[in-house]
Amino acid sequence: MIVTLELAPGTAINRAALQDSFGLSSTPVRDALVRLGQEGLVEIVPQSATRVSLIDLSAARQAQFLRRAVEQEAVRLLAAAPDKEFEAELRGILDAQAVRAAAGDIPGFDALDQTFHRRLLELAGAPDLYGLVRRRSGHIDRIRHLHLPVAGKMREVVRDHGRILKAVVAGNDSKAQARVRDHLARSLAYVQTLRDAHPGFFRD
């Protein structure tokens, strides 16, 4: 709810309402909020309020740095693989993404986007790193969700993924790394435009 902006930055969180909504007692809700606090997605003020944190641009930049480092190494390894048996699977993900983009299905598109990036790490032999990256990516993921509804953005993502896969299949590790680097730079490249549209959502 936070990452997809159903709960907007700055929103006060009603713990009792969450308990009712999820059918839970106070303890698991409290524990979940503590974990979200550790990930920087909520701010808990004892004896006061719990709020959805503003989008922290410093944290987003660090998450981008981490993702670029990890995924560039993943595609380097995949480009050097002697066979490319994974090509059909990844192309299938991209084809499905194109269908979701054409339908304007943002949740479905986003799920496939995550699948594509997760599979790159799994195929490169680093499956546990995906969870690490996800735990650090809440702020940049919210920027992505602000950006996805912009006309043409989902098609741009599919195009980028296709270029990454093409370079990997061709065995061109340097081009594959460059495609990943360019792709993962795009969300932060539009931050000022998004900030102008949603000035209360961000902090430096």
pLDDT in tens, 46-105: 877 899 999 999 999 999 999 999 999 999 999 999 999 999 999 999 999 999 999 999
Q: Which residues of the chain have pLDDT under 50?
A: none
Residue 187 confidence (pLDDT): 85
- Return the structure tokens found at 126: 């680093």
Which parts of the chain are beta strand (E)? 42-44, 50-52, 55-56, 202-203
Q: Cβ distance 185 to 65 under 8 Å?
A: no
User: 3-class SS at 187?
Assistant: helix
Whether the Cβ atoms of residue 137 and residue 67 lie closer than 8 Å to each other: yes
Coil, strand, or helix at residue 50?
strand
Q: Has domain 56-203 been given CATH number 1.10.10.60?
A: no
Q: Which residues of 50-73 are buried (b: 16+ CB within 10 A; e: fewer)?
A: bbbbbbbbebbeebbebbbebbbb
Please give the pLDDT value at position 46.
Answer: 80
Q: Is-above-0.95 flag for pTM?
A: no
Structural domain boundaries of the chain? 15-53, 56-203
Residues 6+ apart with CB under 8 A from 41: 2, 3, 52, 53, 138, 139
| CATH 1.10.10.10 at 15-53, yes or no | yes
Predicted local distance difference test score (pLDDT) of residue 108: 97
Q: Which helix (H) or strand (E) holds 179?
A: helix 173-189
